[in-house]
Structure 1
Amino acid sequence: MIRTVGLRKEFRTRRATTTAVAGLTLEIPRGRVTGLLGLNGAGKTTTIKILATLLRPTAGTVLVDDLDPLRDAGAVRRRINLIAGGERMVYARMTGRENLWYFGRLYDVPGAVLRPRVAELLELVGLSAAADTRVERYSRGMTQRLSIARGLINDPAYLLLDEPTLGLDAPIARDLRRVVARLAAEGTGVLLTSHYLAEVEELCQHVYVIAGGHHLTAGSPAELTARAGCHRSVRVTVTGAGPEVAAAVESLAADLGAAAVLDRAADGSLVASLSHPGEIAGPLAMAVVGAGGTLAGLEVAEPTLEDAILALNDRAGMVSA
C-alpha cells in the first residue's frame, strides 16, 4: 500500500511560512478506491503531488510498497501515475497517439505491449478519430480525455486522481468512473479527490476528510454522514390545509426538536419541510391527516456526503476558534 505517517509540507518565503499539510497519516491499499476530501485549500492537491514525487515533504514519511519516494523515485514513478483535471499533462504539438507512445516509452512499456495499449486507450477515451491530430487543435475536454489515457499508459499499481472528471462531458466522466471501479476491483490502489461528491459516494469505500492540512476524520461515506449528525429532510404538500394543519405541523416540530419551514404554493397548497436526524415522515403524515389535510405529495431527502463535509468543517472551525 501507499502509507504516510506525520506527513507535513510547508511553503516558506522571506516573510512567512504557510503550512499546507500538517501531520497527515494515510493508507491507500491496493484494490480500493480511497477518497481524500476537504474544502478548497484543505491540502488535497499538495498531498497528491507529494505522493506523485512532484513535491518533497517538509517532514514525515511516505512509503509506496515500502519504497521511499525520495530515495527510490524512479522505482516509485514506475508504480504510480497521476491524472489531474486542472492541469495540462500532455504536449500540445504532438498528436494524441504520439503523446501516448512517448509517455509509454518513458515508463519503459515494451513496444509490443505499448502499441495495442495506445489503441485501446484512445478508444476508451473516445479519441480514436483524432488520434493523429495535434493536441493544440483539441478542445479542452478532448485534452483532458487524452490526459486520462496518459495516466493509464503504464498500467499503474497506484492511480492518483485529482479532480479527474473536471471539464469532462457526462458520458466520458461516467466511463472513467467505470474504469476506476474496474481497476480497483482488479487490484489497483486509487486515491481520489473530487468536488463531485456523488462521484466519491459511488466509488470510494473509505474517505479521509481534511481541513487546513489537518486530519478531521475517516470512514466510509455512510459512516461519515452518520458521524456528522446530518439531518434528513421531509417535505409534504398538503391540499385543503386550514390553520389546524399548520398548527399540527408546528406542534410536531416543537415536540421533536425539528427545524420546520412552512410556505404556501401558488395554488394555495401548504408546503411544509422538516429536518431531523430521525424517521419523521410517518409522524408528519399522520399529523397532517389527523388535522384534516390531504397529502398531495411527500418527499424524503437523505443527508448527503456534501452535508457531512460541510458539517464536519463547521465543527472543526468552531473547535479551532
Structure 2
Amino acid sequence: MIVTRELRKTYPAKRTLFRRSGGTETRAVDGLSLSIPPGAVTGLLGLNGAGKTTTIKIIATLLHPTTGTITVDGLDVVRDARAVRRRINLIAGGERMVYARLTGRENLWYFGQLYDVPRATLRARIDELLELVGLPDAADTLVERYSRGMRQRLSIARGLINQPAYLLLDEPTLGLDAPIARDLRAVVARLAQEGVGVLLTSHYLAEVEELCGHVYVIDRGRLVAEGSPTALTAGTRLPHTVELTLAEAAPAVSVAVGALGAEVETGLDAEGRPTYVLRSPDDLAGELATAVVRAGGAIVRLEVNPPTLEDAILAMAAPAPVS
C-alpha cells in the first residue's frame, strides 16, 4: 500500500529582479494523509491548484516533501527512492514524457532498459504495448512526427513498460480521442483487477465515477472529504432538479406542487405549455408525478437531473481568501 502521513510541501516566496524574497511562502500540500491500496483505483480530486499534481510528483519521487512521510509497501520515498521507482510508474497528460528524436520503439527500449526489464522479454513487451495503445504502424516513426494524441498514447505505453505495482495517473486521457480514452480506462480497470494499485487524477469526472471505488477530495492541499463517488455526492445534500411540462394548465397542479416543499420556478415552454422546475435535496420525481396526476394534470415531459460529482467538488471547495 502507498501511505502518506501529514504530508506537506512548501515553496518559498518568489524572488524577482526588483524584489528580494520576503513575501509569503506557498503551501501546495498541507497535512495530507492518504492510503492507496493495491488492486483498486483511488481518485484524487480537486480544483486547479488544489495540490493534486504536487502530491503525485512527491509520491513519484520527483519532488521531496517538506515534512511528513510517504511509504510504498513500507519503502520510504526519500530514503529508498531507487527501490520505490522500481515499483511505480507515472503517466501525466500534457507533459513531455518521451523523446521526440527517438522512434516510438526506441523510446520504449530505452525506458525498458532504465527499469532493467530483461532483454529477453523486452522486445515482446514493447510489441505488446504498442499494440495496446494502437501504435504498431508508427512504431518506427520519429516521435517528433507524432500528433499530440499519439504522443500521449506512447506515454501510456512507457508508463506500463516495467509492469508497475502502482500506477500514478495525472490526467492520463488529456488530449486523447474518445475511443483511445475508453480503451485506456479498460486497461486501468483490468490492471486494478490484476492487483495493481492506481492513483488517478482527472477533470473528466465521469471517468472517475466509472473507475474509482474511493475518492479523496483536496482543496489548497488539505483533505476536505473522502468516500465513494456516490457517497460524496449524496453527502453534500445538493439539490436534485426536476423539470416538468404539462399538456395544459391545471390550477390544482400548482397547489399540489407547492405542497411538496421544494424550491419551484414556473414558466412556459416554446409551445406555450406550463412548466415547473423543482429543486430539492431529495429526489421528488416520484412524489411529483403522483401529485400532478392526482391534481388532474397531464404530464408531457418529466426529467430528473441529480447532482453530479462535479457539483459536489465545487461545493466542497472553500471560497478563496480575500487578499
Same fold (TM over 0.5): yes
Percent identical pairs in the alignment equals 67
Which letter maps to 1:167? G
Which letter maps to 1:9? K
Number of the residue aligned with 2:81: 73
* Aligned pairs for 1:237-316 within 5 A: 237-249=245-257, 251-252=258-259, 255-256=260-261, 258-313=262-317, 316=318
Which letter maps to 1:2? I
- Measured on the aligned residues, the alpha-carbon RMSD in Å equals 1.8
1:122 to 110, 113, 130: 130
Q: In structure 2, do the counterparts of structure 1 residues 91 and 319 end up closer, same or farther at CA, with 3 Å as the change threshold?
A: closer
Structure 1 residue 60: Cα displacement? 0.3
Q: Which one has the bigger helix percentage?
A: 1
* Aligned pairs for 1:42-121 within 5 A: 42-121=50-129
Gaps of 5+ in 2: 15-20
1:218 to 223, 226, 232: 226
CA contact (8 A) 2:93 2:170 kept: yes
Structure 1 residue 244: Cα displacement? 4.6
Number of the residue aligned with 2:18: none
Structure 1 residue 73: Cα displacement? 1.1
Gaps of 5+ in 1: none
Q: In structure 2, do the counterparts of structure 1 residues 58 and 96 end up closer, same or farther at CA, with 3 Å as the change threshold?
A: same
Structure 1 residue 217: Cα displacement? 1.2
Number of the residue aligned with 1:206: 214
CA contact (8 A) 1:246 1:262 kept: no
CA distance in 2, matches of 1:219, 1:202: 14
CA contact (8 A) 2:264 2:278 kept: yes
CA contact (8 A) 1:80 1:160 kept: yes
CA distance in 2, matches of 1:148, 1:263: 50
Deviations 1:163-218 (A, max 9, x none): 00011000000000000011011110100000001100000011000000011011
2:184 to 176, 196, 201: 176
Number of the residue aligned with 2:17: none
Q: TM-score, length-normalised on structure 2?
A: 0.93
Number of the residue aligned with 2:319: 317
Which letter maps to 2:242? V
* Range that drifts further, 203-212 or 228-237: 228-237
Deviations 1:121-155 (A, max 9, x none): 11111111111000000000110110011010100
CA contact (8 A) 2:283 2:306 kept: no
CA distance in 2, matches of 1:157, 1:120: 18
CA contact (8 A) 2:202 2:208 kept: yes
Structure 1 residue 246: Cα displacement? 4.0
Deviations 1:218-240 (A, max 9, x none): 11111111211122222112111
